[in-house]
Structure formats: structure tokens, C-alpha cells
Amino acid sequence: MLLRVKNLAVHFTTDGKIIKAVDGISFEIDEGETVAFVGESGSGKSVTALSIVRLIDPPGKIVNGEILWKDEIDLLKVDEDTMRKIRGREISIIFQDVSNSLNPVLSVGQQVAEVFTSHFMMNKKEARERVFELFEKIGIKEPGKIFDLYPHQLSGGLKQRILIAIAFALKPKLVIADEPTSSVDALTQYQILELFNSLQKEYKTSILLITHNFGIVTKISKRVYVMHKGKIVESGDTSAVLSKPSHPYTIKLIESAKFLSL
């Protein structure tokens, strides 16, 4: 098993009150598997994702649980130096806020190249060549032109592709994608999901997809966990949950879903 989470609990303390953002959840992700977490805003999906890579900031705190990586390492117990090595190289995350995830004063090509120069000690020419190869792989035409553009010069769809390039650059074992299609139109959503499917097959990467839309899940995920108020209220094969949902909250999400038909 690639990732095994047991009894994870994350609390936020606000004005003396404890909010149980994640309330004792357990789940697993196998190697090469795509799993989705579905739920509305505030259900605990993103907090769960941030907990895996240990990026919960105060007033949030992981108060209980185990996050077992490859059944060997409890990510909640390793030191920060070890955790930094795991982030990016073995586990990468695509954050929900596309605009704030890219540095506005560096070209997008420089930002992807930094992944190669910092982790593989490549020179600038070697890194640039690797970026061009990666851009072509993710469907970016004219990579030389895009390399020198800044984030504000790109569409939402292109920004998302750049973040995907950064996430997959080091061929990690697990990519966590937090609402990767929330800010783009239906056609771009479909293209991004197809890109995830293609990269997952090529790199054998596991993907944890975070979304509020059940319609997105059907295009990429084999298994699904439904989160509501910090708990997992239903889980199973995506097709089975869609055809015979058992929890009222799951039924509500499915009824409100926008299914892609492209």
C-alpha cells in the first residue's frame, strides 16, 4: 500500500472553540491508483490533503492519527528535513488557488526549471531542455514562447497546465490535486482530466483528486470517498457509489453534479 491513513484528526481552535475539521478518518491509496475525495467546501477535503504533506498552519493542528507512507514511514513522526525531501520528490500537491500558486515575478519556464536545478543540480541549459520536453508532453504548444511568459500573461487553463508540469516534473509516487478544474470552462476541464489520465498511465503515479463535483470524479477516479463535516460518510468503487448511493449527503452531491459529456 502506498499511503495508509488511520484515524486522522485535525482541529482548529478559534475564539476558544475547537472545530473538528477532520474527525477521525481512515483511508488508503494503492500504487498507480486514482482516488477521489468529494464534498462541499468546509467538509475537510483540503485539510486532509494538507495533512498528508504536513502543511497545516496554526490555528490548525493534527491531534491524532497515523499517515503511513509505503507502510514504512509515519509522516507525522519524521523530522522536517525528511519531510521536505518527500514533498515534491515523492509526494507533490497542486493547490486550489491557481493564481497564488505561481510566482508573479518569474517566468513560468523559470519556475518549472527550478524543480530540475534544485533537485538534480542541472545547469540552466539542461533544465530548459527538460522543461521543453515536459511542456510538449502536457500539450503546451510553442514551449519556447510559453517558457518566457509570466503567470499574468496566461489563461487559467495554461496556468493549471504549468502547475501540473511542476507537480509531475520529478515523477512523484503520489500527486494530490486540490480542485484542479474549478476555475476553468467545461472544455478545459475535460482536457485537464484527460491529461491527468495520460500522465497517470505513463508514470504509474497515484493521484488523489479533491473535488466538490461528482461529475469530475467519473472521468478519472476508480474509487471515491465522500466527506461531510470532517467525516467520511461513504466510500467505494466510483461506479457502485454512483449507481447505488446509500448516504443522503452522497445522493445530494450526485443530484447537483455537473457531468462532463464531451
Q: Encode pLDDT of 135-185 as tens digits.
A: 999 989 899 999 999 999 999 889 999 999 999 999 999 999 999 988 788
Residue 205's nearest CA partner among 167, 235, 178 is: 167
Query: Phi/psi of residue 72, each to 5°?
Result: -125, -40
Q: In one letter, which amino acid is 193?
A: L
β-bridge pairing 17-29 and 223-228 = unpaired
Edge-to-edge strands of the sheet including 3-14?
Answer: 17-29, 3-14, 60-69, 73-74
- Residue-wise pLDDT for 103-143, tens only, equals 999 999 999 999 999 888 889 999 999 999 999 999 898 99
- Residue-wise pLDDT for 237-254, tens only, equals 999 999 999 999 999 999
81 pLDDT above the threshold of 60: yes
Q: Which three cell numbers stand for residue 214?
A: 461528482
pLDDT at 16: 86
Q: Tell me the HSE value of 73 on the side-chain side, using a 13 A CA sphere.
A: 12
Beta bridge partners of 14: 17
Average confidence (pLDDT) over 204-222: 93
User: Measured between alpha carbons, how far is 17 from 19 in angstroms, rounded to an integer?
Assistant: 6
Edge-to-edge strands of the sheet including 206-211?
Answer: 91-94, 174-178, 206-211, 34-38, 223-228, 231-237
Instruction: State yes or no: cis peptide before 59, omega within 30 of 0.
Output: yes
63 pLDDT above the threshold of 70: yes
Q: Is 48 exposed, middle or buried (0-12, 13-18, 19+ CB in 10 A)?
A: buried
Cβ atoms of 99 and 184 closer than 8 Å: no
Query: Where does the pLDDT of residue 262 fall: very low under 50, low under 70, confident under 90, or very high at 90 and above?
Result: low
Cβ atoms of 116 and 108 closer than 8 Å: no
Residue 188's nearest CA partner among 128, 123, 98, 108 is: 98
Q: Which three cell numbers stand for residue 66?
A: 497515523
pLDDT at 184: 82
